[in-house]
Chains A and B, each alone.
Chain A
Amino acid sequence: MILGLLQHISIQNLIWLICLLPLVSSCINWLLSASSSKLPSKAANSLASFVGISGPLLAFFSALIVFWVLTGIENSEAFAITGPLYQWIGFGGWSIDIGLRVDQLSLVMALVVTGVGTLIHIYSIGYMRGDDGYPRYFAELNLFLFFMLLLILADNLILMFVGWEGVGLCSYLLIGFWFSDIEKAKAGKKAFVVNRIGDFAFIIGIFLIWKMLAGQPIVGGSPLNFETLERNAAFLLPIATPVCIALFIGACGKSAQIPLYVWLPDAMAGPTPVSALIHAATMVTAGVYMIARLNFLYVLSPLALNIVAYTGAATALFAATIGLTQRDIKKVLAYSTISQLGYMFLAEGVGAFGAGIFHLVTHAFFKAALFLGAGSVIHALHGEQDLFNMGGLKKYLPGTFAVFFVAALAISGIWPLAGFYSKDEILWQVYERGYTGLWVIGFITAGMTAFYMFRATSLAFFGNLRIGEDKKHHIHESSISMLVPLVLLGVLSISGGWIKNSIGTFLEPRFASVTLEEVTHHENMEHILAVISVLWAAHWAFVAWIVYVQKPSWPEAMANKFRKIHSLLMNKYFVDEIYDAIVIKPLAWISETALWKGFDIPIIDNVGVNGSGRVVGFFGKLAAVLQTGLTPHYLFFMVIGISIVVGWLVF
């Protein structure tokens, strides 16, 4: 019977389902949340988790089925569009439709987002148990998934922008999930506003495209549709550079690149599964995805590509140096995320879009594992996040430790784990395409990555337990609902890289090739570099272990010796303070002191509006002086008047 039913479901319907199932879950959970005071909390929470999990899970299965069906058709690309559901905005000549598009790129993304998303939803059951806002949490998380999938599957720029802003909204809601703490609420606001700065550039980019295509004899339907854009990319050649730079600034906001990365470390105020899903695995990769989606535009502008590459490399290095000194386990992971996103942009900037997306996929696995592992630690220690108050947890949390350790190896790029394949692919592509300087930056960053990851691992899991006696006996391994997703992500962190060749060929048709000058196969060189970088990473991982486990006095001695550098890194290069001084304070001054109190009230209102009133009043009073009410005065004025008139007439 089920098979009979399946025959009636077209692939288009399934694509809609991928996107809409989380929305349905979200709506149900919102209703639950609204009526939770009337329901017994246990029943409400069980229902919330059931609904909250089934949406993403079914979406994942739909994505899988779509994947199997589309790849099963021989001699054809994995490609499908749903066509417009309806015209969203449109008059006469043009329209922006609601429609989805599945191709190799969006399919890979949808699988990762729904897959990792489902695991994190399951993990959340254990992590959020007992929280007051339990149904609200799932409602917001499901809503996030909906917008993320909309962003990925959208078939035009405007709809993508809807998803783009929508995930920003959910990020805002979830960072400030525990809004009684004003600092957390502020972190959410900061994330949204900084993202809005990026979005500002993003929509300017869209407008530029719009202006350029207006009136051109374009082939195809709606001008902002990706299909149309790709076919008419030639019309955009004159403005490719400004468009690509504007869109990239948008990506900088969402994907936390210099100079707009400042919101991401603060975003760690949200619940840890949120950090894993939104601020590590999925939402922050939206910028990477967007550039890959529009690769046909970016290849038109070598300058923009170079900017992408250099920004990515700079961010990778910059964030890694900050990561070296952070005390908060989640902040370490946050800077590590910024740094890894830098790698992805580096890859895209040199034209290796496939490598960027590949790293996005493996990063989603191991970074989610790291975050969930950190969450498990924080959960066990009742909210403790300072690495220097942990230590020796290997014994107490063996499962968490195993996954965290494996994921740390993976992110450091140790063979044969996932991170090795993707990072090595990026570094190799950078090297092969002749960007030796960028390669050096990437290589140094790889060493730092290994160092700070094993610094965190050593501080948390090895050495002596530095936690208070009273809390010691509370430490417990996480529940099964948290461990299962952890272990699955750990397995993916190991094996995720083995698909390197197949994902490469799968994605290939989507990417415009950046012409290389006669690629000669340097296979030996590739292998030599791979071996060097593994040794390099392993070396730094080992050093970190020595320094933080064997010689715990060294870090302090080092910090004292290089106090200036240490405090610079510790304080994140004072970037927040600098932004506060050059952007926020002046803006507040302009808005309040200069414009409102300095111009609006005294000049416009007082001088202009009330001033004209006073002038009229003054003349009124002047005229009133003449109106004495005494007849002799009036007679006198009359005589003067008559004599003037008569005089005028006579002479």
Chain B
Amino acid sequence: MKGYFPLFLLLQTGMTGVFVALDFFLFYFFWEVMLLPMYFLIGIWGGPRREYAAIKFFLYTLVGSVMMLLVMIAFYFYSEGNTFNILTLMDQSVHIGPMTAHNFRLLCWLGLMIAFAIKVPVFPFHTWLPDAHVEAPTAISVILAGILLKMGTYGMIRFCYPIFPDITFEFAKWIAVFGMINIVYGALCAMAQKDFKRLIAYSSISHMGFCLLGMASFTNEGMNGAVLQMFNHGTITAQLFLIVGIIYDRVHHRDLEGFGGLAHIMPRYAVWTAIAFFAALGLPGLSGFISEALVFLGAFKMWPWYTAVSVSGVVLTAAYVLWTYQRVFLGKINEKYKNLPEISWRETVTLAPLALIVVILGVYPKAMLDIMNATLVGINQLFVK
């Protein structure tokens, strides 16, 4: 424990830093700061294959970081007045300087995009995620899914969009296509899983696809939906990982075939799970629906066919989520687990605020939308031309 909390707090510093940095160098610095504690947290307190997972996570992200580093240095030398300031870069890129050469911009855009895509993770860079999730301890899984993944999509909106509006627009089709693949492919893979945590990891890939799809739309609805989806995915998937953690603490396995009838033994746990599960499958009235609907509304204007295919992911999601619920909670009581304790108040306290946010944002999403909209409208302005 002595080592765990310092690392955890360092991780938090890194994450917060990434989201508040307005300087590319600072951003990169925090990005790397976040990486190291994560490596140790998974590698020391993880499951049986923790070292493999930790190294895979570290190296994979590092590949992205290197590209980001190169782009950053290129920016520094090619920008007027040699700056790392994101706002200045945004300004310059649209107007002047040596940064306007198309191929140069394309290269930089690609480098950044891949760095962020690994983090999201976008198909086909996603395989580190299930491994990292399965091996990481519960709290780390929650952080990983809830916050770390958003650094990828945040980076895209913060860098790729305003600094390279032209290239982004040129490749918007591919962003939409990869969003679609993420949604459908993630859902299909999730359906095949027998391991509870791996299933949620794949569902996470599927849900991050909505962000990409929404971003590719260049509409107010789509962009707002994408950012809201980042937030909602953070709250919903965090709940899901906590839920897996709660049952893992009690039975020490995550095999979906090995449960059954838990709703009888732990009824309150079953209710909390139901809220999170229904939020995950986008039930109206809960927050997941709002962001998915906005993403679809926006994306359908721009990419009707890709969106139509993506919407089928919603059917698949319903199928695997309910199937999972059935396997874990419904049916006959499994005699082995007759005496499992109900969830404790500590566990309830971690779940309840997240569930509350999910409900509130489902009923009154404007609480979030009004905040985000101002920035996103600004970014969207770049594409109106």
Contacts and interface: CB of A to CB of B under 8 A. Distances in A.
A141 B56 CA distance: 50
Contacts of B124: 604, 608
B307 interface: yes
A595 B186 CA distance: 10
B332 A180 contact: yes
A214 B290 CA distance: 19
Contact of A210 (B56, B220, B301): B301
Identify which of B128, B300, B323 gathers the most chain A CB atoms within 10 Å of its CB: B300
Contact of A89 (B314, B333, B369): B369
Contacts of B289: 162, 165
A596 B261 CA distance: 28
Given A169-B283, A186-B326, A595 B185 contact: yes
A591 B191 contact: yes
B330 A89 contact: no
Contact of B366 (A88, A92, A193): A88
Interface residues of B, number: 56
Given A162-B285, A204-B311, A180 B333 contact: yes
A127 B271 CA distance: 25
Interface string A588-614: 101110011100100011001100010
A88 B370 CA distance: 11
Given A591-B188, A604-B124, A169 B278 contact: yes
Contacts, number: 129
B372 to A, nearest CB: 9
Contact of A179 (B263, B283, B290): B263
Contact of A185 (B284, B297, B331): B331
B326 A211 contact: no
Contact of B377 (A34, A92, A172): A92
Interface in B280-304: 283-285, 289-290, 293-294, 296-297, 300-301, 304
Interface stretch (A195-203, A361-369, A521-529): A195-203
Interface residues of A, number: 50
Contact of A591 (B59, B192, B330): B192
Nearest to B263: A179
A595 B128 CA distance: 17
B297 A207 contact: yes
Contacts of B326: 182, 185-186, 189
Contact of A609 (B127, B283, B330): B127
- If over half of A's interface residues share one DSSP class (helix, strand or loop), that class is named, otherwise mixed; here it is helix
B22 interface: no
Contacts of B304: 207, 211
A590 B268 CA distance: 35
B264 interface: yes
Nearest to B124: A604
A182 B332 contact: yes
Nearest to A30: B271
- If over half of B's interface residues share one DSSP class (helix, strand or loop), that class is named, otherwise mixed; here it is helix
Contact of B220 (A92, A208, A597): A92
B59 A211 contact: no
B184 to A, nearest CB: 10
B188 A185 contact: no
B60 interface: yes
Contact of A592 (B192, B278, B297, B314): B192
Contacts of B263: 179
A165 B271 CA distance: 19
A497 interface: no
B315 A604 contact: no
A89 B228 CA distance: 12
Contacts of B278: 169
B307 A207 contact: yes
Given A180-B261, A196-B315, A595-B188, A604 B332 contact: no
A87 interface: yes
Given A179-B263, A211-B304, A193 B315 contact: yes
B319 interface: yes
B189 A204 contact: no
Contact of B284 (A90, A165, A172, A189): A165
A90 B366 contact: yes
B311 A200 contact: yes
A595 B314 CA distance: 18
B153 to A, nearest CB: 20
Interface string A67-108: 000000000000000000011111110000000000000000
9 contacts: A89-B294, A162-B285, A180-B261, A203-B311, A204-B308, A211-B304, A595-B189, A596-B192, A608-B127
Given A165-B289, A597-B192, A600-B127, 5 more contacts: A87-B366, A172-B322, A192-B318, A211-B304, A613-B59
Interface of B: 56, 59-60, 124, 126-128, 185, 188-189, 191-193, 220-221, 224, 261, 263-264, 268, 271, 278, 283-285, 289-290, 293-294, 296-297, 300-301, 304, 307-308, 311-312, 314-315, 318-319, 322-323, 326, 329-333, 364-366, 369, 373, 377
- The 3 residue pairs across chains A and B that have the minimum distance between CB atoms: A592-B192, A185-B330, A162-B284
